[in-house]
Amino acid sequence: MAGKKQALGKGLDALFGDIGAKVPVTKSDTEEIIITSGDTILYVDIDDIKPNSMQPRKTFKNEALEELADSIKTYGVIVPLLLQKAATGYELVNGERRWRAARKAGLKEVPAVVRELTEEENAMFAIIENLQREDLNTIEEATAFHQIIQRYGMTQESVAKAVGKSRPYIANTLRTLSMQLEIVDFLRQGDLTLGHANALGAVKDPGLQLQLAKKIVEDGLSVREAERLAALTEKKPAKKEPRVTKSVEIRTVEQELTSATGVRVKINGNGNKGRVELRYTDRQGLEEIIDLLRKAGPAAK
């Protein structure tokens, strides 16, 4: 876990520098506060800020927001938000949880740093921020990766480097978006993890895959347990068609026709329907069957 934080933090520092400076709890007499990094902290009207359109997280736990709001009531917003200018007001780049909690705490203004970012930097910052601080569910993460790849033409390899993940991790996460809708819902709700999804991927039959997903959720199976169950499910032999036993009468007729024609005859049927097979093993045998059928034609008229 420590390695993940270090890799992601290094990428953020290179792009955005240090915005983690602490600020006073109350607004100072001056309209702006200059901090050592060279950024200017502004106190921005909270109603002039709108959420980030590139934010991959769509749900925020109310209990966690209430706890953060209580802390803000006591200590204020310690770490400033990161904003960029919008057509009207500002758009959040970093700090949506703090912004939401500040609204709950009744703050009218919040400390913020305003930066000019490209759309790509904005998108990348939004996802990296969430990966650093609070885990996205698998589908939110997959949607964010897909959005970056589609919008900016990035490869899975380049996304992996940007977010400090392996390329197989990116590929496996993206693969969840094509799973059955019920399984996607399980992943979105956190009932299944990416590890579970990888285990389910070993089961090729969609019906069996969904059955296994439901069992994992209902029984609370671990990833290892899901992998073992998936392996057993995939190895189950396919159901064989029931063998039809021929009556003595049918077998007798087969033998009579084979003896009379010199061609192996098989009769397969069920009730009043079926087929008669004339079998051959070489070209001469085929020619003999053709001659036999031609001779039988005029006689049948």
Q: Where are the beta strands (DSSP E) in 232-272?
A: 264-270
Q: Which among 111, 110, 89 is positioned nearest to 34, based on CA atoms?
A: 111
Helices (H) and strands (E) in the chain, counts: 13, 8
Quick check: is 182 catalytic?
no
Question: Distance between CA atoms of 182 and 199, rounded to whole angstroms?
Answer: 16
Strand partners for 271: none
SS3 117: coil
- Which tokens hold the place of 16? 């955005």
Strand partners for 45: 109
Question: Distance between CA atoms of 234 and 69, rounded to whole angstroms?
Answer: 49
Phi, psi at 20, each rounded to 5°: -95, 15
Question: Distance between CA atoms of 82 and 19, rounded to whole angstroms?
Answer: 8
Q: Exposure pattern of 199-213 as b/e (b: 16+ CB <10 Å)?
A: bbeebeeeeebbebb
Distance of CA 158 to the CA centre of its chain: 19
Catalytic residue, candidates 91, 96, 140, 141 = 96
Q: What is each CA distance from 279 to 120, 189, 293, 300, in whole angstroms?
A: 69, 59, 13, 22
Catalytic (active-site) positions: 96
